[in-house]
Structure 1
């Protein structure tokens, strides 16, 4: 009987990270959609709810989307009253995006649910492994 050769995707870092992302957010995505948000709207509000306004390009980088997409999305979200578009005081050609009180109210319960969801998932690793995982993922994102 010959051993089955290991498939490339079973060890491919990109594939493993994508599978891990899917496993972590598959269930939580239902909560995001139930709140009336798309995944990228959730990422925008989660990014902005407890920080300073960001330029569209900074926001696009942080929410893992293209700048033109985030520009259009920010305008739609401003029309919803979830974000505010501000002129950048350092460069009038740039726009900054900040969460409004309504946007923060909308996302606050989801942020709490996300924390609880993450804690449940990380229980399988234990505190030490969870710290190591965060540290290693942080190193990868700095590349």
Structure 2
């Protein structure tokens, strides 16, 4: 057998391993707060931005729209999000975090930032900036 294995240099594998390294210990904090990983992603996404359509939210949290539709209805019952009619299109629903949802997720955001900083400490500032820019470009998002 010669050379490195395919998965050792495959981008999908490397990204998956990096993601796992970032979240492996963090997930226990999410569960301790009484949230599932997708509920955490929804609240983190809505924390400091405008209300989003269900379809945009589904895209941002990497899930299917029907799943997110049901999820945000349950989260609204919990008092973590509020559902609003989109004034531009009454057929669409906007989702916003409530004060209770923001309060619940705020300590998790601090833990997530700390974990990210810990993981990135081996990179210099220019490497960190380059990594963020490259990942945003690969994801089709503005840097």
Equivalent position of 2:11 in the other structure = 13
Equivalent position of 2:102 in the other structure = 104
In the TM superposition, what is the alpha-carbon distance from 1:102 to its structure 2 partner? 0.2
Residues 22-67 of structure 1, C-alpha deviation per residue, up to 9 Å, x if partnerless?
A: 1111111111111111111000000001111100000000010000
Q: TM-score, normalised by structure 2?
A: 0.94
Equivalent position of 1:28 in the other structure = 26
| Equivalent residues in 2 for 1:1-143, closer than 5 Å | 4-142=2-140
> In structure 2, what is the Cα distance between the partners aligned to 1:132 and 1:65?
27
Runs of 4+ in 1 over 6 A off after TM superposition: none
In the TM superposition, what is the alpha-carbon distance from 1:4 to its structure 2 partner? 3.1
Q: TM-score, normalised by structure 1?
A: 0.94
SS in 1 for 2:24: helix
Structure 2, gaps ≥5 residues long: none
